[in-house]
Amino acid sequence: MKYKNTVVFDGQHVTIAEICQIAHQHATVELGQQPEFMERIDKGARFIDTLLKEEGFVYGVTTGYGDSCTVSIPLHLVEQLPKKLYTFHGCGLGNHFDVKQTRAILAVRLTSLARGYSGVRYKLLQQLEELLRNDILPMIPQEGSVGASGDLTPLSYVAAVLAGERNVFYQGEKHATATIFSLLNIKPLTLKPKEGLAIMNGTAAMTGIACLAYQRAAYLSQLSTRITSLASVALDGNAYHFDEKLFSVKPHAGQNKVAARLRSDLQLQARALRNDTRLQDRYSLRCAPHIIGVLEDFLPWLATQIENELNSANDNPIIDAEGEHVLHGGHFYGGHIAFAMDSLKIAVANLADLMDRQMAQLMDSKFNNGLPANLSGAKGEQVLLNHGFKALQIAVSAWTAEALKLTMPASVFSRSTECHNQDKVSMGTIAARDCIRILELTEQVAVAVLIASVQGVELRGNTSLSPSLQNTIKQLRQYSPFLSVDRALEKELRECLVLIQNQQLVLYA
């Protein structure tokens, strides 16, 4: 496979966009090979070895984990501890993370370990690089993490695969890791003291998912704006609800960005200001910039929080090889990601609700300003037999309701675990998983309302559309033709959903 870009992991800043490029196989990975970087990584592992020889005591190296930290491990048993750690955490259930999510998780863990504060060898980073470069993906169950001490159970599957155990997804099929390692001449890694803990004791699963969620949400913000433009045309709406002077008096930057996109789509700047015969459209049109704008304004803050977590050393203890300190703390706590994902859930679900209301207007002949009921394109006697998008509106309502139901914050459901050692946990991974599900449902709503809006525009017969709206209609019609008589829509809905999920529909520059 030819990759467009290369992302280098050498302890420097990695972006959300780069993690997403790796996840979508738009970029390959390369581990830094500068001698000073390699030395900085290995120095941490050597410091652990020195401590073992000189003091014989390091948390998670010569002790049990969590509440078991008071249990001392004899030096002749220390080498077995990393294997024991990933073994007893092999209890995840639920669906496995998909291939994009798994690549993101691996890339995020590599980013954190490359910071050089985890006491692992450069050789371990090379093994992670090997997995990513060969697309050998650990099969990681989604369920079983409370978000502190990080993503222990999900990441135990990464640790086990590095050691040649458990199962991987390779070239579209499930295989035993040992089989693929043998095929590709990859030597299983025997984890050294601290390395099992360093891989597992962090926020890579929730942060990897958060990177993907961010990218999907940013695209949905633009897509819901384009759908609003189409719905406004279809409903013969008042475009002057998005007037530049109007929005200048409420200066939220994101909200104004959405209004500017709507003005461009509706060619408002080219029309003389006038009083529309219908002064005020319903809120799902008139207030669309205010609703979408909340997400648009939230995205920069969200990016900062995710990238801070992404580029942090977030295991425990932190190994300061330069200062020769072992620093015990709680950087595995995923509170920032939990809050970010819980907040993003609400902003995205509001997009689903907005588009659901736009769909309701389009369908109902009492409110759609002269369009046929249910947007049916049938003629003559066929009008009596055809129901247009009636069933699709029911489906949109179902998807929206499910999205709204999932907006309950996960982070407020902290549970005391592990003999009350982990007595306040983040629930960050559950929040991230909820967010992905809400994004999936909202994308389904968006596809349905996009098809309906385009149908409405064509039924309205508007021939003076902006180039941007014409282009969207042209792209959509390659997958979903005009609905003149009823047909099953599932196939084209699924095809259009892939178009949206791959962000192939051209929107705003």
* pLDDT higher than 90, residue 276: no
Helix (H) or strand (E) holding 229: helix 204-234
Instruction: Give the strand pairing for 27-31 and 5-9.
Output: parallel
CATH number at residue 409: 1.20.200.10
pLDDT in tens, 401-424: 999 999 999 999 988 887 777 778
Whether residues 258 and 110 share a domain: the answer is no
Whether residues 184 and 254 share a domain: the answer is no
* pLDDT higher than 60, residue 475: yes
Residue 250, domain extent: 210-317+333-501
Q: Do the beta carbons of residue 416 and residue 428 sit within 8 Å?
A: no
Q: How many helices (H) and strands (E) does the chain have?
A: 18, 9
In a domain, 100, yes or no: yes
Q: Do the beta carbons of residue 258 and residue 288 sit within 8 Å?
A: yes
Structure tokens of 447? 């596809």
CA 196 to chain centre: 26
pLDDT in tens, 181-218: 999 999 999 999 889 999 999 999 999 999 999 999 99
If we measure between CA atoms, which residue out of 65, 61, 10 comes closest to residue 191? Answer: 61
Catalytic residue check, 59: yes
pLDDT bin (cut points 50, 70, 90) of residue 149 is: confident
Q: Do the beta carbons of residue 489 and residue 481 sit within 8 Å?
A: no
pLDDT in tens, 298-356: 999 999 999 999 999 999 899 999 998 888 899 999 999 999 999 999 999 999 999 99
- Rounded to 5 degrees, φ, ψ at 170 are -140, 125
In a domain, 423, yes or no: yes
If we measure between CA atoms, which residue out of 125, 155, 122, 156 comes closest to residue 45? Answer: 122
Whether residues 117 and 214 share a domain: the answer is no
Please state, in angstroms and rounded to a whole number, the distance separating the CA atoms of residues 300 and 344: 12
Instruction: Give the strand pairing for 93-96 and 5-9.
Output: unpaired
In a domain, 361, yes or no: yes
pLDDT bin (cut points 50, 70, 90) of residue 53 is: confident
β-partners of residue 6 are 28
Whether residues 181 and 230 share a domain: the answer is no
If we measure between CA atoms, which residue out of 450, 490, 461 comes closest to residue 372? Answer: 461
Q: Do the beta carbons of residue 297 and residue 40 sit within 8 Å?
A: no
Q: How many domains does the chain have?
A: 2
Whether residues 149 and 186 share a domain: the answer is yes
Whether residues 142 and 259 share a domain: the answer is no
β-partners of residue 93 are 143
In a domain, 130, yes or no: yes
What's the confidence (pLDDT) of residue 404?
A: 98
CATH number at residue 46: 1.10.275.10
Domain boundary among 202, 235, 250: 202
* pLDDT higher than 80, residue 54: no
- Rounded to 5 degrees, φ, ψ at 95 are -65, 155
Whether residues 165 and 270 share a domain: the answer is no
What's the confidence (pLDDT) of residue 1?
A: 58
What's the confidence (pLDDT) of residue 82?
A: 87
CB-based burial of residue 366 (10 Å sphere; 0-12 exposed, 13-18 middle, 19+ buried)?
exposed
Whether residues 144 and 245 share a domain: the answer is no
Whether residues 188 and 214 share a domain: the answer is no
Domain boundary among 202, 235, 260: 202
* pLDDT higher than 90, residue 258: yes
pLDDT in tens, 213-237: 999 999 999 999 999 999 999 999 9
What's the confidence (pLDDT) of residue 106?
A: 98
If we measure between CA atoms, which residue out of 38, 14, 8, 13 comes closest to residue 124? Answer: 38
Whether residues 369 and 229 share a domain: the answer is yes
Place of tokens 């900085």: 40
In a domain, 444, yes or no: yes
SS3 content of the chain, % helix, strand, coil (to 5): 60, 5, 35
Whether residues 80 and 223 share a domain: the answer is no
Cα dihedral value 270, 276, 278, 279, nearest 10? 100
Q: Which of 68-82, 307-321, 459-473 has the lowest mean pLDDT?
A: 68-82
In a domain, 324, yes or no: no
* pLDDT higher than 50, residue 272: no
In a domain, 509, yes or no: no
* pLDDT higher than 70, residue 92: yes
- Rounded to 5 degrees, φ, ψ at 5 are -135, 165
Q: Where are the alpha helices (DSSP H) in 390-466?
A: 390-405, 428-460
Between the alpha carbon of residue 360 and those of residues 351, 405, 485, the distances in Å are 14, 20, 20
Structure tokens of 407? 């907006």
In a domain, 120, yes or no: yes
Between the alpha carbon of residue 494 and those of residues 392, 400, 401, 445, the distances in Å are 13, 17, 20, 12
Percentage of the chain beyond pLDDT 90 is 81
| Catalytic-labelled residue, pool 3, 59, 86, 283 | 59
What's the confidence (pLDDT) of residue 275?
A: 46
Domain boundary among 186, 202, 218: 202
Structure tokens of 325? 């300190």
Between the alpha carbon of residue 320 and those of residues 10, 44, 84, 111, 388, the distances in Å are 17, 7, 25, 17, 65
Whether residues 119 and 230 share a domain: the answer is no
Q: Do the beta carbons of residue 36 and residue 58 sit within 8 Å?
A: no
CB-based burial of residue 275 (10 Å sphere; 0-12 exposed, 13-18 middle, 19+ buried)?
exposed
